[in-house]
Amino acid sequence: MMPWHLCYIPINRTSLSFGTLVEHPGFELKLHMKTTLKKIVDFSTVEGFWVCYCHLARPSSLPSPTDLHLFKEGIRPLWEDSANCNGGKWIIRFKKVVSGRFWEDLVLALVGDQLDYGDNICGAVLSIRFNEDILSVWNRNASDHQAVMALRDSIKRHLKLPHSYVMEYKPHDASLRDNSSYRNTWLRG
């Protein structure tokens, strides 16, 4: 089984100066992510995940904003990482009361290699925000339309989302251009 890393970033926007973000869009945020990424645990089996996870705070108890990252060994949760740079992400928005359950189900599906096109998956992120929580599943190749759409269908099936549930897709190069993970998505389905 593939080893996975669970990390988090406690996001403190007040530590970033607005002037710096205007002069060098995204640079300070990327530097902030690289320097504040905190590794929680490594595991390679569903059993290994549960041994650790049962001792962790649940997403509903974490401060907002916080990001939890689950990525395959050797892949950093950055748009520019060599495994991510040609890829993108499926974005799923949830009400805060249900996001923890969907996060657990997604992690189990990833670690258990249950999603279609699993070799194309780099990792997943749970972004805890004030009004909603956002799950995103990152993949390696945004230009492989068949793999992107099959991944969407597999995520919906494993999370038991209605077929009509709207998910959004955004390539990482678009995120780099507009310096945003979740605005201006390209594909809805």
* CB 124 within 8 Å of CB 66: no
**Per the structure, how many domains does the chain have?**
1
Tell me the pLDDT tens digit for each residue of 124-170.
Answer: 999 999 899 999 999 999 999 999 999 999 999 999 998 888 899 99
Q: What is the CATH number of the domain that holds 87?
A: 3.30.760.10
- Report which DSSP code applies to 73: T
Q: What value does the mean pLDDT take over residues 110-116?
A: 92
Of all residues in the chain, what percent carry a pLDDT higher than 70? 84
**Angle, helices 96-111/46-53, rounded to nearest 10 degrees:** 140
Tokens 């991510």 label which residue?
A: 84
| Cα Rg of the chain (Å, integer) | 16
- The secondary structure of residue 58, as a DSSP letter, is P
Residues 7-32 have pLDDT tens digits of 887 665 444 332 232 333 444 444 44
Domain that holds residue 79: 4-188
